[in-house]
Amino acid sequence: MNIKKVTIAGSGVLGSQIAFQTAFHGYDVMVYDISDEILEKSKTAFQKLGEAFKTDLNATQQQVNEAMKRLSFSSDLASAIDDADLLIEAVPEKPAIKIAFYTKLADLAPKKTIFASNSSTMLPSQFAESTGRPAQFVALHFANEIWKHNTAEIMGHPGTDPKIFDTIVAFAKSIGMVALPLKKEQPGYIVNSLLVPLLSAGLDLLVRGVSDVETIDKTWIVATGAPTGPFGILDIVGITTAYNINKMEADKTGDPVKQQVVDYLKENFIDKGKLGVATGEGFYKYPNPSFKEADFLK
Ligand code: NAD
């Protein structure tokens, strides 16, 4: 199937990035959100993305202008979807919102439209029925700062048509992504199935007093050649996200070490507004964290 017109639902952090990336690679993109005010605000995000593409990818002003011209905006779902070949959903990570959205969309979208969800933590089988077209539904998961961290994990549910899956793999490549197909459903896809245990292990070593932040990061960097250790990564991900994931885990399992991690993050970071790179301080201070200093690894 030939994809030409793409609608992105949700103009927040990820939705705006996916929309700009897709327009930058030549597609006509319709951005849908729940109100014109929100869409108006998102235009500032698109301006910033244009600047980031110039700085990080050496994009020219002309390329940025052309990408901007391919973006349209609508808060009316019926007209936002009426000719879409592909809909990428980046609405809030709340099951009730996503189900309500897909249920409404199912009635309005043309038969041809493929639906793809960018959900980080939910499985496509959770929503397949509410889409009204389970065979044309997959997860297409991007990472934050999509233009630099250009992974696209593609994950079907048992009822996804393999041809649709392949179409989305090809689409992901066509917008400059490294396409990473999964053969079965996996909570957290590949990236978070690898990353979350690493970050948890780092926090576990820290709160049990086995070692300190810098030594743990240094160990990982020297031993594996990775550019950043678990605490440097936690600062990039954001302490709030780490806190939420650990809290969910602690509430579910009652694990006392997880609870210790939760209390530690709340007291030392959340309550003090030290939320990582975004606020200028987390485990390290930014823009010049000590792990980037020349003698850090000595
Ligand atoms: P966000 O809160 O920044 O943006 C969500 C947007 O959806 C907002 O603009 C909101 O107005 C809009 N919205 C709310 N209800 C809507 C509806 N019914 N229809 C259309 N739009 C609606 O959220 P985000 O961080 O961009 O996350 C969106 C999705 O992307 C989530 O599923 C999340 O798991 C996933 N994701 C996020 C990240 C990340 O780092 N932020 C990374 C990968 C994937």
Contact 84, 6 (CB under 8 A): yes
Q: What is the pLDDT of residues 182-216, one digit of tens each?
A: 999 999 999 999 999 999 999 999 999 999 999 99
The mean per-residue pLDDT over the stretch 243-253 comes to: 93
- Give percent of the chain with pLDDT exceeding 70: 100
Mean pLDDT of the chain: 96
Q: What is the mean pLDDT of residues 112-133?
A: 97
Using pLDDT thresholds of 50, 70 and 90, give the confidence band for residue 241. confident
168 in the same domain as 31: yes
| Residue to substitute in 118, 151, 196, 235 for testing ligand 1 pocket (most ligand atoms within 8 angstroms of CB) | 118
How far apart (Å, rounded) are the C-alpha atoms in residues 236 and 233? 5
- Looking at the structure, tell me whether residues 67 and 197 fall in a common domain: no
- Which DSSP state fits 142? E
Q: What is the pLDDT of residue 62?
A: 98
pLDDT tens-digit readout, 72-103: 999 999 999 999 999 999 999 889 999 999 99
Answer yes or no: is 296 within a domain: no
State whether 176 and 211 are in the same domain.
Answer: no
90 C-alpha to ligand 1 centroid (Å):
5
Q: For residues 154 and 199, state if they share a domain.
A: no
> What pLDDT is stored for residue 298 in this prediction?
87
Domain finish residue from 148, 181, 214:
181
Residue 260 identity (one-letter amino acid): Q
Q: In the listed set 137, 161, 181, which residue is the last one of a domain according to the structure?
A: 181
- The ligand 1 atom at the shortest distance from the C-alpha of residue 120 is 34
Q: What residues contact residue 294 under an 8 Å CB cut-off, 6+ apart?
A: none
Strands 5-9 and 178-182: unpaired
Q: Which residue of 14, 73, 236 sits with most ligand 1 atoms within 8 Å of its CB, as the best mutation to test the pocket? A: 14
213 with 148, same domain?
no
Read off the pLDDT of residues 125-140 as tens digits, 9 standing for 90 and up.
999 999 999 999 999 9
Q: Whose CA is nearest to atom 4 of ligand 1?
A: 12
What is the reported pLDDT for 119? 95
| Shortest-distance atom of ligand 1 to CA 104 | 18
